[in-house]
Amino acid sequence: MRYNEKELQALSRQPAELAAELGMRGPKKGSVVKRRLVKLVVNFLFYFRTDEAEPVGALLLEHCKVAQEEPSGFSIRLQPCWIRVPCIPV
């Protein structure tokens, strides 16, 4: 799937269904915790640096269920996707 960068930036400016600020640690042991803002708009999860208006990236969430967990958090669960293969009589 391909998306136009300008379309995604415009979508990221829409009001969020859910949003949160996360602390992310780098892959190296003892690395600094970086704060990131994540924002769910339709079925895209955008993530931002806390001091920037443009998103750093976006994740397309398909076959997922987003649920609010606690007052300030949410979880993303992958839903099983069953593939139906039609039976062809021989």
Compute the distance between CA of residue 32 and CA of residue 70 in angstroms, rounded to an integer. Answer: 26
Q: What tens digit of pLDDT does each residue of 15-40 get?
A: 998 888 888 777 777 778 888 899 98
Q: What tens digit of pLDDT does each residue of 2-20 get?
A: 778 889 999 999 999 888 8
Mean pLDDT (the chain, rounded): 80
Residue among 43, 74, 40 nearest 55 (CA): 40
Whole-model pTM: value is: 0.69
CB neighbours of residue 76 within 10 Å: 14
